[in-house]
Chains A and B, each alone.
Chain A
Amino acid sequence: MIKRSFLGVKKPVLKYDFVESEGKEPEQLPRPSSVVLLLDEPLDSTRINLVKTGDQVRENEKIYLYKNSREYVISPIQGEITSIESYPGEFGDIGTYLVVEKSDHERSGDTKTDVVESLAGPSLDTAEKYLKTLPGAPPFDVLAEKGSDIHTIVITGFDPDLMATTRRYFLSNLKEELKEGIRVLKDLTHVPKVAVTVPETVEDRPGFEGMQLMIISGAYPEALPLMIMKNHLNITVPPGKSCVDMGVCFISAEAVIAMARAFRDKTPSFEKVVTVTGKDGSRKTIKAMIGTRISEVFKALNININENDRVIINGPMQGFATFTLSHPVQPSMDSIIVQDVDDIQHISDYPCINCGNCIKICPANIPVNLLVRRLEANMFEDAAEKFDLQSCIECGLCSYVCTARIPLFQYIRLGKHELLQMKAEAETEERNG
């Protein structure tokens, strides 16, 4: 953790770590004998379910929970579904997890869709149907749905949050494959403009002809999508709008390579590259199968997790803390950080003391000190209209520097969530007359 420096007159800077991954290959983890697959869809007894415990699945088989489901997972191993349970996420979001235990039992009378046969001809439709769960979580649904509105695709060869080197690994070590992937992606989407984010330390930049190179040189949060929109694309994203609304789609370098491989080999890959940081700050890049429990990752790397430690997924600034070591390696998981119980900084229930640290550091010029007073009082609409709630790029720096240790970032996310909720309710009411 980076602490406040003795000299505090300058605002703190969280430098990206530009040290190369030294071309070292990630450590390959063994294939697990059982996998956990997460689906972003709650259990619903009123719908017609397509899978149940005890079902046999084949390798590369696509699994839908219910009829008419849009969310799917692809099983990386052959085996038997041993449990289907709810998985609570953030803000009361409920997902579902499936556990697949490896078995050699062949299933007869096969009728379910197989991914392998469908990958014969590369198309966006196929990609959306079968490749959404590739390592790197490519946003094919966005591309398929809004394909014509997207005018720029940004390939992120640099990890937006700190303590991750996953995307950089693909950019520096698998450049040829990345170029090939970009070619395939261009053919699929016909998007006129492709840009690549590149860390300043990558010397060997040529080779991305016809693409805009976005050099990331400064400190966090420069590599966050909204900062790239502002600094490199000169596009103003109005409050409440997303990058996709403005016609820009971000895809990680890993996803692009995984897609190219899937079309080339006619089979999806499940090898996810993850940067794991231990309690002592030692960093290791691993390659694990999607669905591997993180407890197995820790076992392989000899990291001991004790009671009350914190396991952070996807970065110290924007990520989330998991409550279980059975959390699987997911397509979108770029980093895992383990914090010792003694290293955890606690938040407080103090009010804002108006010290101004957040104002100095906010890259979006939000009056955080005034905003938080509204958010604490549940004045979400006021917060959005007058105090720029929707301009937040969710970098988390305000919480990082807060003297009163207010969970500012969480207040902001809660505020945005509540606004969405209110909007949805208003729409339902309107529809119902």
Chain B
Amino acid sequence: MAKRLKLIVSHAPFWHDGGSISKMNLNMILALMPAAIFGIVRFGVPALGVVALGISSAMLFEFLFNLVSRKPVTTGDFDAALIGLLFAMMVPAPTPWWVVVIGTFLAVVIGKQIYGGIGGNPFNPVVLSMAILMVSWPVFFDADAALVNYRFDFKALAPLPALKHQGAGALYHFNAGDLIMGDQIGSIGSIFPLGLLIGGIYLIVRGYIKWEVTVSFIAGLVATAFFFNLANPDSFAGPMIHLFSGYTLLAAFFLVTENSSSPVNFVPMLIYGALGGFLVILIRNVGVYPDGTIFAILLINLLNPLIDTIRPKALGRRVNNA
């Protein structure tokens, strides 16, 4: 046959919508920026140090694991960078460097890579790492103790531990408006709910996170907190305090929506999110931990494969009841 011109041969479809993992992760990182920058401005150089160390050490661990496991280098998908950033945003600014390094190691290697890397992890890597650290060295995650040397022009009290230890009576220090604008203490990335909201809504609009999970998580959380508050306003705070303090919004937009550990079908996504929101409040109000977000997410991660079996019948399949 005539002249030999090399053509690219591949299989259908020949179009792609142009999305990719690196684009998705870069958008996630972009969406985290308002809250991260606010945290760095508020807590100064130590916060910057933690964020920089978090991202760099996470990427380094990913790279080293790629080398050890003789797999293609995957740092270019920015998944490790996102994990590092998220981890750094979840710890208080004065966290020692070795805690950050151990944390990113746990997240990247134990949380993600040993399951085969991206897409294989049954738990959210960051959340898993945080859970291990919080159980091992709880002292570093007590924002009140960690930030004792800082001076703020507002009441320097972490809302959730105050709530836990002093009951709803401690809440006269706080109002939802100040909390949203970032007048609270806590971890680097969780103290600025407005920034998290902006970033999260950006991600939902762009379609990079599962809005069903976020919405039902917030709905579940607000509803549960509302009923607790209704039952006993003296010991349980109202939904707004819960919504804008602790890891709530960071979790709602960036943690529970983590692809690999969350469902993909519509109804399961709703159940998953609502259950998460419910568990967060349950642990906060009834459990021993001031902020139940971490363990609540681990629990729903565990249930994810089971919930996600609820799915519509495929085309041509009939209902086959056994």
Contacts and interface: CB of A to CB of B under 8 A. Distances in A.
Main secondary structure of the interface of A (DSSP, over half): loop
Interface string A311-336: 11001111111111110000000000
Contacts of A355: 24, 259, 264
B261 to A, nearest CB: 8
Interface string A55-83: 00000000000000000000000000000
A323 B207 CA distance: 36
Contacts of B316: 236-239, 241, 364, 390-391
B284 interface: no
Interface string A21-62: 000000000000000100000000000000000000000000
Contacts of B24: 355, 403
B318 A365 contact: no
B7 A345 contact: no
B10 A321 contact: yes
A212 interface: no
A400 B19 CA distance: 9
A7 B19 CA distance: 12
B138 interface: no
B308 to A, nearest CB: 8
Interface residues of A, number: 83
Contacts of B211: 9
Contacts of B117: 351
Contacts of B315: 226, 230, 236-237, 363-366, 388, 391, 393
Interface string A347-382: 111111111110100011111010000000000000
B208 A353 contact: no
A396 B119 contact: no
B12 A320 contact: yes
Contacts of A413: 11
Contacts of A393: 315
A351 B7 contact: no
A139 interface: no
Main secondary structure of the interface of B (DSSP, over half): loop
Contacts of B70: none
B9 interface: yes
Contacts of B21: 350, 353, 403-404
A397 B238 CA distance: 45
Given A341-B8, A344-B8, A326 B2 contact: yes
A168 to B, nearest CB: 20
A324 B8 CA distance: 10
Given A351-B116, A400-B13, A3 B7 contact: no
B265 interface: yes
A325 B17 contact: no
A388 B317 contact: yes
Contact of B314 (A319, A322, A391): A391
A345 B2 contact: no
Nearest to A404: B21
Contacts of B119: 350-354, 404
A390 to B, nearest CB: 8
A398 to B, nearest CB: 9
Interface stretch (A106-114, A170-178, A302-310): A302-310
Given A354-B259, A355-B24, A409-B13, A369 B264 contact: yes
Given A230-B315, A365-B315, A399-B16, A325 B207 contact: no
Given A236-B316, A351-B116, A354-B264, A7 B14 contact: no
A293 B72 CA distance: 41
A7 B265 contact: no
A295 interface: yes
Contacts of B318: 236, 238
A352 B11 CA distance: 19
B20 interface: yes
B177 interface: no
Contact of A400 (B17, B20, B265): B17
A325 B14 CA distance: 18
A407 B11 contact: yes
B203 to A, nearest CB: 9
A322 to B, nearest CB: 7
A92 B17 CA distance: 29
B14 A339 contact: yes
Contact of B13 (A307, A316, A322): A316
B18 A308 contact: no
A9 B201 CA distance: 10
Interface in B1-34: 1-3, 5-21, 24
Contacts of A308: 6-8
B14 A337 contact: yes
B313 A400 contact: no
Contact of B1 (A9, A36, A241): A36
B7 A323 contact: yes
A148 interface: no
Contacts of B2: 293, 295, 324-326
6 contacts: A7-B205, A239-B317, A318-B12, A325-B2, A344-B10, A391-B317
Given A236-B315, A318-B13, 15 more contacts: A2-B17, A8-B207, A9-B211, A97-B1, A316-B12, A317-B13, A318-B12, A321-B9, A324-B2, A325-B7, A353-B260, A365-B312, A366-B315, A369-B264, A391-B314
Interface of B: 1-3, 5-21, 24, 72, 77, 116-120, 204-208, 210-211, 259-260, 262-265, 311-318
Ranked nearest first, the 10 interchain pairs of A and B with the lowest CB-CB distance are A8-B207, A356-B264, A326-B1, A388-B314, A364-B315, A396-B13, A345-B16, A391-B314, A353-B119, A4-B17
